Amino acid sequence: MKDSIDFGSMNISTLFRKLLIPTVLGMVFSALFVITDGIFVGKGIGSDALAAVNITAPLFMIAAGIGLMFGVGASVVASIHLSQGKRKVASINITQAIAFSALLILILSALCLYFIEPLARLLGSSDRLLPLAVEYMAWYIPFLVFYEVLNIGMFCIRLDGSPTYAMMCNAVAAILNIILDYIFIFEFGWGMMGAAFATSLGTVVGGLMTLIYLLRFSRTLHLCRIKLSIKSLLLTLRNIGYMIKLGSSAFISEASIACMMFLGNYVFIHHLGEDGVAAFSIACYFFPIIFMVYNAIAQSAQPIISYNFGAGQPERVRKTLHLAIRTALICGISFFILTVLCCQDIVSLFIDRSYAAFDIAVNGLPYFGVGFIFFAVNMIGIGYYQSVERGQRATIITLLRGVVFMLIGFFALPPVLGTPGIWLAVPLAELLTTFYIFGIYLKDRFIVCRR
């Protein structure tokens, strides 16, 4: 399972490629979780079901954000400890991250299930969509802890030098989800329950695969017993706090996508009704592919940057950053062109022309796709600051991108541009974020030059 990887001396391009290819494939399989649900729900149940799933999506993005927060935080800390030869400390870090986040998700899941109907209304569900949204949540929320373990485990396994196995965890989970989606929705006729349960079972298998690896097959990082003495618990809380600080921007990044969906659902239902939400949900189903690829590029660069940052090799850090930016930009431009040329084909994957949401989505997706180019730069910029222990800066960028600029877009553009303004709100937020990143980069360069 262990790949031949040396973070400190291997050629940067070769090292980045070794991490990138399996990581991208793994992330694409992960995105299939979301997209497959959309295709089967739209084709097998209808556009209202598609809208209902999109209503509940912010809740699951928050759960994913918690997993990414602890995954990034633990991976950065463990990377630096490994570069200093502290393997035992690194193993303790990842164990603390997995155990604490799993406990947190279990508590949050119990609260969500207890308040499930008010929660669905809070997320923006109308009376018409409420039964579908509640049914979907009831069969997905209890299994979120396995989704959490899967998300964090990916970081740990890649850091252990086995990106191919990390890819397989996502691939097996996604393939199982596709098979079960078809069986549960089309063969058994289980509707929303079937869609949610299929995804849940896929995450259970993926989560168990990561645990088995870290318990039995890992070479460097292992899950270990957490001591329950007062001193050990205080140290654990201190470490958890530091991981949260480093990974908070990853959480906010996911939360910003949840914010995008939340605000978008409200704005679309206000201007275009349930059909508008269904159309927006197609963009939200397509968006994970874009996000996952950029996230894979950032995550592939992260262990290289963190390791060499800890080892005091700034030139290797700089080369990795530049390579990641170039790769992300190429992908961003390609995704934009693909969206413009194939928007009808993308929409037809989810619903047919008989639904009013079809034309709304076809007309809106090209506007939405403009943001993919700027999003590429933003993801790499945020990932870089996380990797060099500048979590506060990464958090500020993410808050601006996901909350401040997003609010400006959704509330300023529709009155001026009408329906195209709703679709352009997210691209505007990404563009403003890119300007901000370039601004602080030029400021840092100016300070260095003056010294």
pLDDT of 89 over the 60 cut = yes
Q: What is the pLDDT of residues 252-308, one digit of tens each?
A: 777 777 877 888 888 888 888 888 888 888 888 777 778 778 888 887 887 788 777
Q: What is the pLDDT of residues 70-86, one digit of tens each?
A: 988 888 888 878 878 88
Question: Per-residue pLDDT averaged across 211-222, rounded?
Answer: 86
Length of the chain: 451
Three-class SS of residue 120?
helix
The pLDDT assigned to 267 comes to: 87
Residue with tokens 């030029």: 442
Count CB atoms within 10 A of the CB of residue 435: 10
Cα distances (angstroms) measured from residue 118 to each of 39, 48, 135: 27, 19, 13
129 vs 114 pLDDT, higher one: 114
pLDDT of 4 over the 60 cut = no
Rounded-to-integer distance, Cα 112 and Cα 391, Å: 29
CB contact at 8 A, 343 and 362: yes
Rounded-to-integer distance, Cα 224 and Cα 227, Å: 9
Question: Per-residue pLDDT averaged across 214-228, rounded?
Answer: 82
The pLDDT assigned to 424 comes to: 93
Rounded-to-integer distance, Cα 440 and Cα 421, Å: 28
Q: Which residues of 204-215 are buried (b: 16+ CB within 10 A; e: fewer)?
A: bbbbbbbeebbe
Q: Which residues of 249-264 are buried (b: 16+ CB within 10 A; e: fewer)?
A: bbbbbbbbbbbbbbbb
pLDDT of 379 over the 90 cut = no
- Summarize the chain as % helix, strand, coil (round to 5): 85, 0, 15
pLDDT of 249 over the 80 cut = no
Q: What is the pLDDT of residues 333-370, one digit of tens each?
A: 999 999 999 889 888 888 888 888 889 999 999 999 99
